[in-house]
Amino acid sequence: MSPVTEAPLALKFTERSNRIEPSATMAAVAEADKLRQAGVDVVDWTVGEPHFSTPQHIKDAAISAIQNNFTRYTAVGGTPELKAAIVKRHAQDFGSRYKPEEAMASVGGKHVLFNAVQVLVDHGDEVILPVPYWVSFKDIVRYAGGTCVLLETDETKGFRVTAEMVARRVSPRTKMIILNSPSNPSGAVMPPEDMSEVMRIAAQRGIWVMSDECYVYLNYTGREFSIGSEDQYRERMIVVGSLSKTYAMTGWRMGYALAPAPVVAAMQKLQSQSTSNPTSIVQKAAVAALNGSQQCVAEMRSEYIRLRDHIVTGLRAIPGLTCTYPEGAFYVYPNVSGYFGRGGIHSPADFARRLLNDGHVATVPGEGFGTTEHIRISYATAQKELDRGLEKLRGFVGSL
Ligand SMILES: Cc1ncc(COP(=O)(O)O)c(C=O)c1O
C-alpha cells in the first residue's frame, strides 16, 4: 500500500463561533503580561477584579466542604440551601420577594448572562445595549444570533440611560434591553427612578430586561438598588448577580439569576447540557458568603470609595484629561481625546498602546466598550499602584 499523504486540514470553525471576538480586556492583560515577562516594570490598571483576598470565613466553608466530602454532583442550578441563601440575601438587602424556584446558580455571572441570552434571544431579535457597554454583552448576543442596537449616551450627563432614550430605540424586533448599573466600564449608576421607568416601558411592550447587577453592592451613591425589588415588573425581568466582585471571589466562579420560574427552568435545561452544576465546594462557600456577616463587603466598599476619590483627584489634575465621577464599580473612564493629534495618537487604542510601551501603564482602550475617546482604568489595586501609575501617566502625557 502506498503511504497516504494528506494535505493539512484547514481549520474551519462554526459560523456562530466566528461571530464573536476575544475580549478586549483579556487582550490588554496579555499585552501587559508580555511586557512584564520581558522584565519591564508595568503598572497594571487593566484587571477588573478586587485586589482583596476572599474573606476567611468563605474560604473555611470551602475547606470544610472538601473535608466533609461535599464533592459530588448537585442539582444543576445549585443546592436548595444555596437557592434559599440567594433569595434570602436579596430579600434582606433589596426587599425583593423571590421564591427558590425563581433562583439559580451558574459558573459566574457571565455564565448566567450567557444562559439567559441563549434561552431568550433568537436569530433576528434585537437587543438594546447602552454604550459604553461591558465587552462581553455584544458577543454573547451575537453568539445567540441576535443583533445589538446600540444606545448612545451622553458623557456630559454621566452616561445616563433614560427610559425616553430606550423608548426611541424600541422596534417590533426588540426582544431584550440590557442594563448594567453600576456600569463596567463607566462606573455610572442609574437612578432607581430611571431603572423603574425603563422596566415599565419594557413590561408594557413585552420586552425582557436583563439587569446585570454584578456591581450592585459597589454602589457609592448611598442608594443601593436592585431592579428585582420592583415586584410589579418581575414577569419580564432577569436579575443577574455575582459573588465575584462583592466577596472578592472572581476565581471561584459563582453567579446567580433571579427570574420567572419558567425562565430559570429553561436556563437550567441549557446548563444541564453544558457545565451542569457550579462546583459543589464553591456552592458551600457561596452559602457562607451570602448567609454570613456582610461586614467584609462594607469594608471593601469603603476602601474602593477611598481609592476612587484618590484616582479621580489624580487624573483630574492632569492637563488634557477629563473624567466623569464614577458612582460605583471600580473603574474610571477618562476621556483622552485631548491628546489626539499628538505623538501619532488618534484613538484610544493608540493612546493605550503608547501608554503601555512608553509609559509602562496598562489600561484598556475604549473601543472594546463601544466608545472612541476613552480608556478604562481599574482602581481595584493598592494605593501605591495608583500613585505609581499616576506618576508614569503624567510623565507620558508630558512627553507628547
Ligand atoms: C458588568 C459585568 N458583568 C458580568 C461580569 C462577570 O463576572 P463573573 O463572571 O466573574 O461573575 C463582569 C466581570 O468583569 C462584569 O464586569
- Cβ proximity of 220 and 236 under 8 Å: no
Q: H or E stretch including 208?
A: strand 208-212
Residue 5 has pLDDT above 80, yes or no: no
Nearest CA to ligand 1 atom 11: 109
Judged by DSSP in three states, 205 sits in helix
pLDDT score for 77: 98
Average pLDDT over residues 281-305: 98
For 67-102, the pLDDT digits (tens) are 999 999 999 999 999 999 999 999 999 999 999 999
Q: Could you tell me the distance, in angstroms and rounded to a whole number, from the CA of residue 368 to the centre of ligand 1? A: 15
Grid coordinates representing 292? 454570613
What are the pLDDT digits (tens) for 235-276?
A: 999 999 999 999 999 999 999 999 999 999 999 999 999 999
The per-residue pLDDT for range 325-363, each reduced to its tens digit, is: 999 999 999 999 999 999 899 999 999 999 999 999 999
The pLDDT value given to residue 4: 56
Please, what sign has the CA dihedral across residues 367, 370, 372, 377?
A: negative
pTM reported for the whole predicted model: 0.95
pLDDT in tens, 223-238: 899 999 999 999 999 9
* Of 211, 244, 256, best ligand 1 pocket probe by most atoms within 8 Å of the beta carbon: 244
How is the beta sheet containing 103-106 ordered, strand by strand? 103-106, 255-258, 237-242, 208-212, 174-180, 126-130, 147-151
d(CA 226, CA 220): 14
How close is the Cα of 108 to the center of ligand 1, in Å?
7
Distance 110 CA to ligand 1 centre (A): 6
**Residue 6 confidence class, pLDDT cut points 50, 70, 90:** low
Per-residue pLDDT of 179-207, as tens digits, reads: 999 999 999 999 999 999 999 999 999 99
DSSP calls for 92-128:
HHH-----GGGEEEESSHHHHHHHHHHHH--TT-EEE
Q: What is the pLDDT of residue 10?
A: 74
* Amino acid letter, 396: F
In this predicted structure, what is the pLDDT of residue 367? Answer: 94
Q: pLDDT tens digit string along 213-225?
A: 999 999 999 989 9
Q: What is the pLDDT of residue 222?
A: 92
**How much distance in Å is there from the Cα of 185 to the middle of ligand 1?**
11
The protein residue with its alpha carbon nearest to ligand 1, atom 7, reads 109
For residue 6, the CA-to-ligand 1 centroid distance in Å is 44
**Chain centre distance of CA 193:** 22
pLDDT at position 27, please?
80
Average pLDDT, the chain: 95
Proportion of the chain above pLDDT 70, given as a percent? 98
Percent of the chain with pLDDT over 90: 91
For residue 303, the model assigns a pLDDT of 97
Ligand 1: list residues with CB < 6 Å. 48, 108-110, 134, 180, 184, 212, 214, 242, 244, 250, 255
